[in-house]
Amino acid sequence: MNPVRTQGGFTLLEVLIAIVVVAFGLLGLAGLQVFALKNNQSASLRVAATNLTTDIIDRMKANYLGVIGGEYDRPNTASYNSVEPTCTQATGCPPEALARNDLREWKERIEAALPGGVGIVCLDSTPNEAATPAAPGCDGVGAAAYVVKIWWYDDRTQANVAGALKYMYTSFNP
3-state SS, 13-66, equals: HHHHHHHHHHHHHHHHHHHHHHHHHHHHHHHHHHHHHHHHHHHHHHHHHHCHHH
The segments of the chain whose pLDDT lies below 50 read: none
The predicted pLDDT at position 164 comes to: 72
The predicted pLDDT at position 40 comes to: 84
| Continuous H helices in 63-140 | 64-68, 95-113
Residue 2 counted as domain residue? no
Please name which of 62, 47, 66 lies closest in space to residue 150, comparing C-alpha atoms.
47
CA distance to 77, 137, 143, 167, per residue, from 151 (Å): 12, 13, 24, 5
Residue 60 counted as domain residue? yes
Residue 4 counted as domain residue? no
- SS3 assignment, position 163: coil
Residue 117 counted as domain residue? yes
127 with 172: CB under 8 angstroms?
A: no
The predicted pLDDT at position 39 comes to: 78
The predicted pLDDT at position 112 comes to: 95
The predicted pLDDT at position 8 comes to: 61
Residue 5 counted as domain residue? no
Residue-range definition of the domain harbouring residue 22: 12-172
Residue 140 counted as domain residue? yes
The predicted pLDDT at position 118 comes to: 93
The predicted pLDDT at position 133 comes to: 80
Residue 31 counted as domain residue? yes
Q: State the Cα–Cα distance between residues 20 and 109, nearest whole angstrom.
A: 49
The predicted pLDDT at position 10 comes to: 66
The predicted pLDDT at position 144 comes to: 64
Number of domains in the chain: 1
